[in-house]
Structure 1
Amino acid sequence: MTTLVFALVIALSLVLAWASRRGHAHPSLREYFTASRQFGAVLVFFLSVGETYSIGGLLGFPGGVYARGLPFAVWFVGYLVLSVPVGYLVNPLIWRAAKRLDALTLADLYGGHTRSRGLEILVALCAIGFLIPWGAMQFAGLNVALSGLGLHLPRAGLMGGAGVLAFAYLALSGVRAPAYVSVLKDALLIGAIALVAGAVLMAGFPPGSLARAWPAIPPDGPLLTPHQERYAITTTIFQALGLYMSPLTMAYIFTARSARAIRRAQIPMPLYMAMFPALTLVALAARASAVPLGSPNDAFIASARTLLSPGLLGLAAGAAALAGLVVLAGTCLAIGPLISRNLLPQLPETKQKAYAQGAMVGYLVLSMAAALALPGLIVTLNNLTYLGITQFLPGAIVIGLARPVSPVRLALGLIVGDAVGVSLFLGGFDCAGINAGLIGLVLNAAIVATGLRRTA
């Protein structure tokens, strides 16, 4: 029954992806990647939320609470809450710039605004490089979700099937497919979380047992030392600033019909925070009941397997799988044109979509290989994604404001920001508790600011 319900969820998602082709069976390049900038606030909302609340949130948040307790929950929710006003202010600027420059990618924004081919290539390479660990994260999460079904298949087989499904969405109708599937995914995701949390409440845990399940707090000292507080605060700020700088999010912004639609989509996003108390409850129940886990990230699926009927378990696993598949499909939509349009500009527009689809397949294979080869480094790779994509913020703001700026300063700021943040992080240097990426971002912004005195 579990496998049957799961298969029905996946089949329904493919039906929705096929239905999204109506009237767009042979999409142009702009239709395929940006839906001709026709999406209203509702579809932009579901697309953006699908990226923000991905399989990493569904599995990673309860896993983090399970392993590290209250400090992790405060940080995770904190940066998501702070990111909403950042998106409300910055995303409409980016949309206006994309419309002005007829941009399909993040690299189009930089290259079109400054008329610099070198900067366009640099931005494309940085975006592609820092999105590979993001894809690996989705495959790792999909492996957890699919393994929770009890399917005794090799990890490579499970991930390969997920990759085929993600590409199938794109082959059907481009960005419209993940947009339509996102609506189904979010409905199932909320339902699955509510089902598991409700099952926890009905399980009859002894009074106080869930509260005592928090990871131990030092009895004779503060929850966090001053050093840890600085790191938590600066990391929250840094990731809140960077959440909407992902090339994937940019691709979704470009689909909106207006800046007003983007603002309207941002307003209800905090409502999704309601799922985190429920996921916290699930994580505490997993600790209190000593459910055997392969890793903390198994907390949600293991609890679902213990508490839900086989049919409902298939529903929960299907929701988790769609959370990863939608993000994978969207990431491919960001990667493909970066390669076919920005790195291979000599291609005629009639061939760019075909080459982009080939690049998507390559990206899926590379991300899958990273997830298989480096399972113990997935958290590190995810941190590297944020360290890289947040450095696009100074340039995005300047371009969004249509300010003339030196392309050399934009390139130098990006290089310095990435180099400082990544080297400090990988080298394990202690910066008095300050997030290494934030240090790089401040240097990046300072370099870009000095370039504002020059003409583009």
Structure 2
Amino acid sequence: MKLAIILAILLATVAGAIAYGRQTRRSATLTDWAVGGRSLGTLVFWFMNAGEVYTTFAVLGISGYAWALGAPAYLAFCSVSLSYAVGYWLMPKIWRAGRTGRLVTQADFFAARYDAPWLGVLTGVVGIASLVIYVQIQLVSLGLIVQLTLDNVVSSEVATVLAGLLMIVFVFAAGVRSAAFAAGVKDVLMVVVVVLLSATVASKVGAASLLDVFGMVEARHPGIGSFPGMDPKSPTTAIWLMTSAINIALGNWVFPHLFQMSYTAHSAKAIRRNAIWQPIYSLAYFFIILLGFAALLANTQPPGSNLNAALLQFVSDKYPAWTVGLLAGTGFLLALAPGSMLLITAGSVFTRNVVQPFKPELSERASLTLSRGSLVFFAVAAVVLSVTQKGSLVKILLDAYAAIGMLAPGVFLGFIWRRTSAIGVLCGLIAGFFALLAPAPARFWASAVPQWEPGLIAMAINAAVVVAASLVTPRPRRAAVALAMQERPMRSDARREVPAVNAA
């Protein structure tokens, strides 16, 4: 029963995704494969956008964090709401720059805005590295789901390798449109699963109601609902929550796949509508945290005390096989839909911004082939990271945001300050990564401000250096700056907007 439901969900979704994306594949161009012809409407863009918010991290990572620590899982509420407040302002600017400059990747923006192809190469490499870390989140979760599907007859390492192969196969069959279709199916199934589990979870743990679950877990584990959570020595205080949420909000839309996703919308109106309503969608985290607390009340013991597997083990222990199959099938899509977008982005950045500057004669077909081929390498790198580096999904997520946050000053200042220069961005990157990764600064931050998110500290240093260096380096060309610095109101009809932008 369990396996049959999983296969039905996977096969039906993949078939639908392939059919939905067939027009993109027939076009056989890197641009259409990567940004879906810049034509995704409000509804499709909604599911694509939500697909990057509700991943395996949202369901398995946050529920596991609630099971292991308690209140620190509230990070999900804060970070999503703040991210969309930033996105309401930033994403339409990214979309407009993409339309005007016919940009395909995030690194295209850096190369064009700062009139520096070398900066596109550098930021492309940084972006790919961050994406590989992000893919690790999906593979860790997908490996756990593969283990559950196979009744734990394979090791976590073998399960992760199988998960990597599954993701590669899915990505080769998909483009942006196919990923958007899978994200839509995944979102609907996720709501069904969360509602189903939440409606029945109280009876599974001996509680009278959903709210009673919170009361019971607080009585059994005093302090779990306040910071720092169950471990009084944990650095996950209210300060950690605020600094981590701000770091995620500032870095979220700077991720290359979300930057690139902004290019796919057919209008700025579609983007703004999503930014307004998506925070309400984040209320689902209430039920996901509730399920983590319920797993704790049920004395759930995942294999190896792996907090990432707490929800899977709880459902496996307390629910019938068909429910386990529904959760596992949804979990596959929670990993495959965003994972495909991550790898598609990494492949397109590699081809356009790392290879093409040195081989400009590459044809469209050769570029598309190279992009697809490079996905295998990036997926293998993510598998190696997943097997060799263990940790909670939340910890992996924060590491990914710390890395991509080094590009945030170059993006934000590029849109609001004409004086920002390529050399300034380079100096900021050097200073930021030194503050983030060098042993001496890391020890200093841990001692001086132990509750602060290191990525936010490094981002602030990065931004300060960008400003200082830009003041003493030559101004960028006016034509390059015009790509990002647009003050005119935007109209939803893109064909009417482009002449207005050029005229500016």
Instruction: Give, in whole Å, the separation in 2 of the partners of 1:24 and 1:297.
Output: 36
Aligned partner of 1:211 in structure 2 is 215
Instruction: Give, in whole Å, the separation in 1 of the partners of 2:196 and 2:236.
Output: 39
Instruction: Give, in whole Å, the separation in 2 of the partners of 1:209 and 1:402.
Output: 50
Aligned partner of 1:254 in structure 2 is 263
TM-aligned CA deviation for residue 54 of structure 1: 0.9
Aligned partner of 1:265 in structure 2 is 274
Instruction: Give, in whole Å, the separation in 2 of the partners of 1:38 and 1:425.
Output: 44
TM-aligned CA deviation for residue 380 of structure 1: 4.6
1:121-132 to 2 correspondence within 5 Å? 121-132=121-132
Residue 429 of structure 1 aligns to a residue whose secondary structure is helix
TM-aligned CA deviation for residue 57 of structure 1: 1.1
TM-aligned CA deviation for residue 402 of structure 1: 7.8
1:170-319 to 2 correspondence within 5 Å? 170-203=171-204, 205-207=206-208, 210-214=214-218, 215-217=221-223, 228-294=237-303, 295-319=306-330
**Which residue identity does 1:391 align to in structure 2?**
M
**Which residue identity does 1:211 align to in structure 2?**
G
User: Is the deviation greater in 117-126 or in 229-238?
Assistant: 229-238
1:85-124 to 2 correspondence within 5 Å? 85-124=85-124
1:256–1:262 contact (8 Å) kept in structure 2: yes
Aligned partner of 2:138 in structure 1 is 138
Instruction: Give, in whole Å, the separation in 1 of the partners of 2:268 and 2:417.
Output: 15
Instruction: Give, in whole Å, the separation in 1 of the partners of 2:224 and 2:401.
Output: 30
**Which residue identity does 2:63 align to in structure 1?**
P
1:38-77 to 2 correspondence within 5 Å? 38-70=39-71, 72-77=72-77
Query: What is the aligned length?
Result: 455
Match 1:415 to one of 430, 433, 455: 430
Instruction: Flag the 1:85–1:6 CA change in 2: closer, same or farther, 3 A.
Output: same
Residue 257 of structure 1 aligns to a residue whose secondary structure is coil
Deviations 1:56-106 (A, max 9, x none): 111010111111112x13323111211110111111111111222221111
Aligned partner of 1:384 in structure 2 is 399
User: Is the deviation greater in 341-350 or in 181-190?
Assistant: 341-350
**Which residue identity does 1:186 align to in structure 2?**
D
Instruction: Give, in whole Å, the separation in 1 of the partners of 2:133 and 2:206.
Output: 39
Instruction: Flag the 1:200–1:107 CA change in 2: closer, same or farther, 3 A.
Output: same
TM-aligned CA deviation for residue 197 of structure 1: 1.4
Structure 2: state its 5+ residue gaps.
Answer: 477-504
Over aligned residues, Cα RMSD in angstroms? 2.6
Instruction: Flag the 1:283–1:146 CA change in 2: closer, same or farther, 3 A.
Output: same
**Which residue identity does 2:56 align to in structure 1?**
I
1:133–1:378 contact (8 Å) kept in structure 2: no
1:163 aligns with 2:164: yes
Residue 205 of structure 1 aligns to a residue whose secondary structure is coil
1:331 aligns with 2:342: yes
User: Is the deviation greater in 182-191 or in 46-55?
Assistant: 46-55
- Taking structure 2 as the reference length, the TM-score comes to 0.84
TM-aligned CA deviation for residue 401 of structure 1: 4.6
Instruction: Give, in whole Å, the separation in 1 of the partners of 2:122 and 2:444.
Output: 24
1:130–1:389 contact (8 Å) kept in structure 2: yes
Residue 152 of structure 1 aligns to a residue whose secondary structure is coil
Aligned partner of 2:462 in structure 1 is 444
Instruction: Give, in whole Å, the separation in 2 of the partners of 1:377 and 1:316.
Output: 20
**Which residue identity does 1:394 align to in structure 2?**
P
**Which residue identity does 1:34 align to in structure 2?**
V
TM-aligned CA deviation for residue 160 of structure 1: 3.7
Instruction: Give, in whole Å, the separation in 1 of the partners of 2:444 and 2:349.
Output: 30
User: Is the deviation greater in 232-241 or in 166-175?
Assistant: 166-175
Residue 376 of structure 2 aligns to a residue whose secondary structure is helix
TM-aligned CA deviation for residue 182 of structure 1: 0.6
Aligned partner of 2:486 in structure 1 is none
What is the identity percentage for the equivalent residue pairs of Structure 1 and Structure 2? 23
Aligned partner of 2:7 in structure 1 is 7
Instruction: Give, in whole Å, the separation in 2 of the partners of 1:434 and 1:158.
Output: 35
Instruction: Give, in whole Å, the separation in 2 of the partners of 1:170 and 1:183.
Output: 16
**Which residue identity does 1:243 align to in structure 2?**
N
User: Is the deviation greater in 167-176 or in 221-230?
Assistant: 221-230
1:2–1:313 contact (8 Å) kept in structure 2: yes
Residue 268 of structure 1 aligns to a residue whose secondary structure is helix
Instruction: Flag the 1:397–1:372 CA change in 2: closer, same or farther, 3 A.
Output: same
Instruction: Give, in whole Å, the separation in 1 of the partners of 2:143 and 2:454.
Output: 31
1:23-34 to 2 correspondence within 5 Å? 23-27=23-27, 28-34=29-35
Instruction: Give, in whole Å, the separation in 2 of the partners of 1:317 and 1:218.
Output: 28
TM-aligned CA deviation for residue 16 of structure 1: 1.4
1:413–1:447 contact (8 Å) kept in structure 2: yes
Residue 409 of structure 2 aligns to a residue whose secondary structure is helix
Instruction: Flag the 1:63–1:125 CA change in 2: closer, same or farther, 3 A.
Output: same
User: Is the deviation greater in 54-63 or in 396-405?
Assistant: 396-405
Deviations 1:204-246 (A, max 9, x none): 6145565232443299x99789993333322221222112211
Instruction: Flag the 1:191–1:340 CA change in 2: closer, same or farther, 3 A.
Output: same
Instruction: Give, in whole Å, the separation in 2 of the partners of 1:176 and 1:383.
Output: 28
Structure 1: state its 5+ residue gaps.
Answer: none
Instruction: Flag the 1:286–1:260 CA change in 2: closer, same or farther, 3 A.
Output: same
Instruction: Flag the 1:418–1:139 CA change in 2: closer, same or farther, 3 A.
Output: same
Instruction: Give, in whole Å, the separation in 2 of the partners of 1:402 and 1:322.
Output: 40
Aligned partner of 1:455 in structure 2 is 475
Aligned partner of 2:490 in structure 1 is none
1:430 aligns with 2:431: no
1:147-162 to 2 correspondence within 5 Å? 147-149=147-149, 150-162=151-163
TM-aligned CA deviation for residue 161 of structure 1: 3.7
2:179–2:340 contact (8 Å) kept in structure 1: yes
Deviations 1:28-54 (A, max 9, x none): 221111011011122222112111221
Instruction: Give, in whole Å, the separation in 2 of the partners of 1:398 and 1:222.
Output: 34
1:340-351 to 2 correspondence within 5 Å? 340-345=351-356, 346=359, 347-351=362-366
Instruction: Give, in whole Å, the separation in 2 of the partners of 1:75 and 1:425.
Output: 23
TM-aligned CA deviation for residue 365 of structure 1: 1.1
Match 2:331 to one of 301, 309, 320: 320
Instruction: Flag the 1:218–1:170 CA change in 2: closer, same or farther, 3 A.
Output: closer
